[in-house]
Amino acid sequence: MSDGAAQRVGIVGRGYSLPATIRTNDDPIFDWLKKNDPGYQQLFYGYGTRHVLKPGESIVTTMQSAARSALDMAKLDVADVDLLLGFVSVSDYEMPNGLSQLHQMMGLSSRCWIIPLNVEYSNFNAGLVLADAMIRAGQVRNALVVCGGNWSRYVNYHLGPSVSAADGAGAAVVARTADASTFRVVDFETITETMVPGTNGGASSPAYGNMYVGTDAVPVPPPIPFPEQDSGDALPDQQVYTQPYFHITAQGMAEFGGFGVTAPIEVVQKLLTRNALPASKVTLTAHQTSRKLLDAWAAAIQPKLFFDTLSTFANMTLASIPVNFAFGYEQFKTDHVVLLGIGPELHTNAVLLRRGG
């Protein structure tokens, strides 16, 4: 093995897993939305089927299957994994993230560091970049990156984004390799705008809180006070809460059609220009929310291949990129691949992969 080959860090294994249950556009769960808010289709469209978890199923089990496939391809055992990166969204607990449950279920070693990456929806991109850097630095040998999304359970089916929601998991193993046919991380570019420029010269406003997963507080009447509490002081309000679900405000919808359309195009073009790469020599796969965004990106960037599974897998949130990378791999005929992410705070990130060198 040459010194150059010994120093190469590549994606040596990949895998994906989807729940068996398929939800179509005719599912009764969408009836209320179709009847009361048909305008949702102006932004959220392009879906035919989506894979969803059924009651009693866990996204972590789906992630385990994807991770096992990636390790098998890499010819590695669980004992070989030094670093577990990724995220479960939405996790059963606010903390710890369900990635720790994955560690337990797979039987990963006690020396394997778990690092949840809450950077939706570019979690997989971040995992690849960090794994590559830590292996190059000699801090770890083999890294497992796993992302799983179960958002079909965490959307409001009276709101437009719910029609896109699907579940799935994708995984990759990053390690040193002499195999030049594997993809490696070359470069990345990010645009972050936590302040959104105002329209017509107006003041900027925070993006934080315009798209988020959270609960709604539901006020309840206070209980009858005990005698010792009857001092004339008002009792604090008591509340109960809904389960967490995805919220998007009117400003968030504007950002969806503004930043969501233009910034991903800009970030990919910056990345390709810096690396002197024409888009015609690149395969692009991306976070997939809506055909509106995917079509806009494809038309402006014009890659050799824009690989997406929106019509069949819908929006797997943070799992869209790793699932498509594993599922569509054999169709990637170019030596360069761009993974394009976007997130609600707002950010967009593109990672450039290369094989053959």
Both 47 and 81 in a single domain? yes
Residue 74 lies in a domain: yes
Say if residues 120 and 89 touch (Cβ distance below 8 Å).
Answer: yes
Of 94-103, 190-199, 255-264, 286-295, the one with minimum mean pLDDT is 190-199
Residue 247 lies in a domain: no
CA angle centred on 105, ends 67 and 64, rounded to 5°: 20
Both 145 and 290 in a single domain? no
Three-class SS of residue 313? helix
What local confidence, expressed as pLDDT, does residue 357 receive?
Answer: 75
Look at residues 120, 149, 179 and tell me which one is the last residue of a structural domain.
179
Q: What is the pLDDT of residues 213-248, one digit of tens each?
A: 999 998 776 665 555 555 555 555 567 889 999 999
Both 148 and 191 in a single domain? no
- Quote the tokens at residue 331: 């169709």
Both 119 and 190 in a single domain? no
Q: What is the pLDDT of residues 256-290, one digit of tens each?
A: 999 999 999 999 999 999 999 999 999 999 999 99
Q: What is the pLDDT of residues 142-190, one digit of tens each?
A: 999 999 999 999 999 999 999 999 999 999 999 999 999 999 999 999 9
Q: Is the pLDDT of residue 328 over 70?
A: yes
Both 78 and 137 in a single domain? yes
Say if residues 87 and 147 touch (Cβ distance below 8 Å).
Answer: yes
What local confidence, expressed as pLDDT, does residue 3 receive?
Answer: 42
What local confidence, expressed as pLDDT, does residue 233 receive?
Answer: 58
Around Cβ 58, how many Cβ atoms within 10 Å? 16
Residue 48 Rama label (left phi>0; alpha psi -120 to 50; beta): alpha
Both 9 and 90 in a single domain? yes
Alpha-carbon distance 279 to 269, whole Å?
Answer: 8
Both 58 and 167 in a single domain? yes
Q: Which CATH number covers residue 279? A: 3.40.47.10
Both 112 and 193 in a single domain? no
What local confidence, expressed as pLDDT, does residue 223 receive?
Answer: 61
Look at residues 119, 144, 179 and tell me which one is the last residue of a structural domain.
179
What are the Cα distances from residue 161, in Å, to 31, 242, 252? 14, 18, 12
DSSP strand pairing (336-343 vs 347-354): antiparallel
Both 163 and 258 in a single domain? no
- Quote the tokens at residue 276: 């002197």
Both 125 and 191 in a single domain? no
Both 128 and 173 in a single domain? yes
Give the rounded distance of the alpha carbon of 294 from its chain centre. Answer: 15
Number of domains in the chain: 2
Cβ-based neighbours of 265, under 8 Å, separated by 6 or more: 296, 297, 300, 301
Alpha-carbon distance 270 to 285, whole Å?
Answer: 17
Kindly report the pTM of this predicted structure.
Answer: 0.93
Both 162 and 280 in a single domain? no
The mean pLDDT value of the chain amounts to: 93
Residue listed under structure tokens 């994606």: 11
Supply the range of the domain harboring residue 301: 186-197+252-354
Say if residues 87 and 121 touch (Cβ distance below 8 Å).
Answer: no
